[in-house]
Chains A and B, each alone.
Chain A
Amino acid sequence: MGKTARHLRPLAALLGAALALSTTACGGATDASPAADAVDISGSISGQTINYWSMWKDGEPQQKVIATAISDFEKETGAKVSVQWQGRSNTEKLVPALNTNNVPDLVDGTLAKLAPVIGDTGQASPLTSVYSYGLDGKTVSSVIPEKFTSNGVFKGEDGQPWMVPYSISSDGIWFDAAKHPELKAKPPATWDEFMEVLDKLKASGAAPIAADGDIAGYNSTWFVTALLRLKGAGSFNALAEDKSGAGWDDPAVLEAAQKVESLVKGGYLNSGYNASKFPAQQQLWANGDAALILNGSWTPTETGSYAAPGFEYSSFQFPAIGDKPASARVDFIGFAVPAKSKNQVPAQRLAAFLLDAKYQNALGTDAKVLPVRQDAPVDPAVASVKAAIDAAPATHLQNDGVTFPGYTEKVFFPRDDELFLGKTTAAEFVAKMKEAQIQYWKDNG
């Protein structure tokens, strides 16, 4: 053994040194980054270069719009933008980069993905100057609808906004207006009217609702939206945050779960929805084998290639259940600037640049997505969703913005799936959620 030890000793020393190095690296990362102040971004940025990690891949419709904007930006300002079209994994790549000094100057993504990574962790620069930046005589903040910003979703702990949205997404109950003109003429406004529509569809022999039951995020939209209709935007977040779990005893919570249960038990969901693989059910819906689907504003682009000939996309909002003002779901896609970026001014200028009417219009008409500016025109396929958002008095995020670590995937989704896939009743669901949530907050409180 003596010999072994002698061999091991230098190796152990080596290992120790390496470990020391690695832990000091970690230690560096734990230092709270200095809270950056808003910078003046109005000066000349000619000759400066920024590094932009995009959530879009080369060839995507949104990428084409942004690429045009970037080339115009370079011509106008003399700055240079070096882009990596990384795709949706850009936020995952951002996490390790934020622990180094080699960060991108500009990133984009959905609020749901950027917030946990860069917003909530205080790693983003305040973009107050972007909001007050002037575009054709209007400030950026004046072209972003106030209801998007009034609930403070873009604000960090310092009270300053760290994200500037350039596009939004939403949801609705989609149908083929060519086949069901009556739904377009008079969409069901209340839950009772909605049930009447479902009964009529069922009586006619058609499957009323298609659902890709293997996607927990789609399944949960039913319960969460029902709850928000009953108790208002922010109520699911408050429910999830309740450490005592007592919120689940609220009769309104049970009622929301019963609404979901009634769809399952009533046989309104397309047979096989609980044992299929995405996108089988939305394909079936686009082929006209089911009448309705609750899905995102991306549905027309996602199903366009296989929709039945003559399919005319239209949608109505999730029906009202109580007398609360119905909020519309609005999720945001936009820019953030890492606090460690050394090129704050040109990065923030590019973030503002995409709010220009030219690119906002292009997002609506060429890329067929929803631009963040209310005055930008959109494609007819998503016009119904845009009208609903414009009319809604308030907005809510997907899953009401719940991002507690692991809560969604480990506590909420599995139990909500059981409810939506018909394995538990509404009462069992509520009881199970209460128990699991108490345990969750005991462990994570």
Chain B
Amino acid sequence: MSLGLKEPRASKASPQNPASRKPASRKAPAQGRQPGSSIDVQRKKLLFPFVGPAFVLYTVLFIVPALGAVWISLHKWAGSGPMKFVGLDNYGRIFRDPLFLSSFGNTLLLLFVVGTAIFVLAFAMTLVLRDMAGKKVVRNVIFFPHLINALVFGVLAGFIFNPGGMVNSLLAPFGVTDPPKWLAQDNIFPLIMVTLVCTTTGYFTTILMAGVDRIPPYYYEDCALAGATAFQRLRYVILPLTWDVFGTCAVLWTISSVKIFEIVWVFGGSSGAGVPPTQSWTAAVYTYVNAFSGQSTPAYGAATASAVLSLALISVLVVLLRRAMRRDAVEF
């Protein structure tokens, strides 16, 4: 996750770097290159005092623990007591474990399927809300679910979908005597996906709307004059002008989707008192169960190995995503 956070920063900085770095170099500037402006030189001087403290904190709080996790992942360890070095065994075991693969598959489902649903809906809502009366109120309303603790949804799911719950009570008058088993183990993960779409769409709609609101109205007037359809307006005006916002949202979702844990935990297994059914595990849940399930000896080596693997795979995804989304920002 830490790598994922670093990536956008690094690539944001990169466009200006090639031009600005060389001149400030203490060596004589290469022939044919212009020396940097004094502002650039000042900037360089301020790099350490400004970036240093943050970097030290970041290193101590994130990078060192991440490297520590890599170290632990090479051992068999119960969290305290003796550590036994096992090399890459934990990684091999995880790759052979069908449970890790299905858990990671669920993480990818969240990332791509739920992600696609969220962004399609968020864009659709953005377009509808732009022209709507009372859009400020609506914006608050759709943002609201994001503020609620996932535990609430876990408990609520029980009220709504239990055999004697709200849905079945409402269906009964219509002659549905054998309603679907809503909370059967296989249905829990789809339910989690739907819940995530409902709770997260409003959050991204809000961010996207802030981007859309920046677009000056004369572009829309121009569209109207040119006789553009709603789709053309989206394709040629809104999307290009909000592409950077959209890209940031995509990275935010990628990072947060990998960490999705608590909603899975509270949806299955008695709202957190037990381990949820394996069908609904994500990579984060898999990691947690290995270390802290409370049902067996903790396996910190396997837990950290799965965390390191998820981190690596997600870092790759974020880099690819950034590559795919790279466009020159449109200035307006």
Interface positions of A (Cβ within 8 A of B): 2-4, 6-7, 11, 14-15, 18-19, 21-23, 26, 29-30, 32-33, 91-92, 95-96, 98-99, 112-113, 116-118, 120-123, 212, 214-217, 271-272, 274-280, 284, 399, 402-410, 413-414, 417, 421, 439, 443-444
Expressed in whole angstroms, the Cα–Cα distance for A399 and B294 within the complex equals 13
B81 touches A122 (CB 8 A): yes
Contacts of A22 in B (CB 8 A): 64-65, 67-68
Known A30-B82, A116-B296; contact A23-B71, beta-carbon cutoff 8 A = yes
Count of B residues near A, CB < 8 Å?
61
B275 touches A14 (CB 8 A): no
3 smallest CB-CB distances across A and B, nearest first, come from A272-B163, A121-B81, A275-B181
A120 touches B278 (CB 8 A): no
B27 touches A274 (CB 8 A): no
Contacts of A409 in B (CB 8 A): 275, 278, 289, 293, 295-296
Known A22-B67, A405-B298; contact A421-B185, beta-carbon cutoff 8 A = yes
B83 touches A30 (CB 8 A): yes
B78 interfacial by beta-carbon distance below 8 Å: yes
B270 touches A214 (CB 8 A): yes
Contacts of A32 in B (CB 8 A): 81-82
A-B contact count (CB 8 A): 181
Interface positions of B (Cβ within 8 A of A): 17, 21-22, 24-25, 27, 47, 55-56, 59-60, 63-65, 67-68, 71-72, 78-83, 93, 96-97, 99, 157-158, 161-165, 181-185, 187, 268-271, 273-275, 277-278, 289-290, 292-299, 302
Expressed in whole angstroms, the Cα–Cα distance for A409 and B27 within the complex equals 61
Expressed in whole angstroms, the Cα–Cα distance for A117 and B79 within the complex equals 7
What's the nearest-Cβ distance from chain A to residue B3, in Å?
Answer: 14
| Residue in chain B with minimal CB distance to A103 | B80
Expressed in whole angstroms, the Cα–Cα distance for A92 and B291 within the complex equals 9
B290 touches A4 (CB 8 A): no
Expressed in whole angstroms, the Cα–Cα distance for A18 and B66 within the complex equals 12
| Residue in chain A with minimal CB distance to B184 | A275
Q: 6 new A-B pairs (CB below 8 Å) besides A120-B297, A405-B297, A408-B293?
A: A6-B25, A15-B63, A26-B68, A214-B268, A409-B293, A414-B278
B274 touches A217 (CB 8 A): yes
What's the nearest-Cβ distance from chain A to residue B198, in Å?
Answer: 18
| Residue in chain A with minimal CB distance to B26 | A6
What's the nearest-Cβ distance from chain B to residue A297, in Å?
Answer: 17
A275 touches B268 (CB 8 A): no
Expressed in whole angstroms, the Cα–Cα distance for A384 and B181 within the complex equals 36
Q: Which of B24, B71, B157 contacts A277 (CB 8 A)?
A: B157
A277 touches B270 (CB 8 A): yes
Known A98-B80, A217-B295, A275-B184; contact A2-B25, beta-carbon cutoff 8 A = yes
Contacts of A272 in B (CB 8 A): 162-164, 181
A117 touches B298 (CB 8 A): yes
A14 touches B59 (CB 8 A): yes
A92 touches B292 (CB 8 A): yes
B21 touches A410 (CB 8 A): no
Expressed in whole angstroms, the Cα–Cα distance for A32 and B182 within the complex equals 50
What's the nearest-Cβ distance from chain B to residue A280, in Å?
Answer: 5
A214 touches B183 (CB 8 A): yes
B163 touches A275 (CB 8 A): yes
B181 touches A404 (CB 8 A): no
Known A99-B80, A215-B270; contact A405-B59, beta-carbon cutoff 8 A = no
Contacts of B96 in A (CB 8 A): 439, 443
Expressed in whole angstroms, the Cα–Cα distance for A118 and B297 within the complex equals 10
Most buried by B among A32, A275, A413: A275
Q: Which of A120, A284, A405 contacts B299 (CB 8 A)?
A: A405
9 contacts between A and B (CB under 8 A): A22-B65, A26-B68, A26-B71, A116-B78, A121-B78, A123-B81, A274-B184, A277-B270, A405-B297
What's the nearest-Cβ distance from chain B to residue A234, in Å?
Answer: 17
A403 touches B83 (CB 8 A): no
Contacts of A121 in B (CB 8 A): 78-82
| Residue in chain A with minimal CB distance to B68 | A22
Contacts of B290 in A (CB 8 A): 405-406
Known A19-B67, A122-B81, A284-B164; contact A404-B297, beta-carbon cutoff 8 A = yes
| Residue in chain B with minimal CB distance to A421 | B185
Known A120-B297, A409-B289; contact A214-B274, beta-carbon cutoff 8 A = yes
B298 touches A116 (CB 8 A): yes
| Residue in chain B with minimal CB distance to A31 | B82
Contacts of A123 in B (CB 8 A): 80-81
Contacts of B181 in A (CB 8 A): 272, 274-275
What's the nearest-Cβ distance from chain A to residue B166, in Å?
Answer: 12
Contacts of B82 in A (CB 8 A): 30, 32, 121-122
Known A95-B298, A116-B78, A215-B273; contact A275-B56, beta-carbon cutoff 8 A = no
Q: Which of B60, B72, B275 contacts A413 (CB 8 A)?
A: B275
What's the nearest-Cβ distance from chain A to residue B124, in Å?
Answer: 32
Contacts of B68 in A (CB 8 A): 22-23, 26
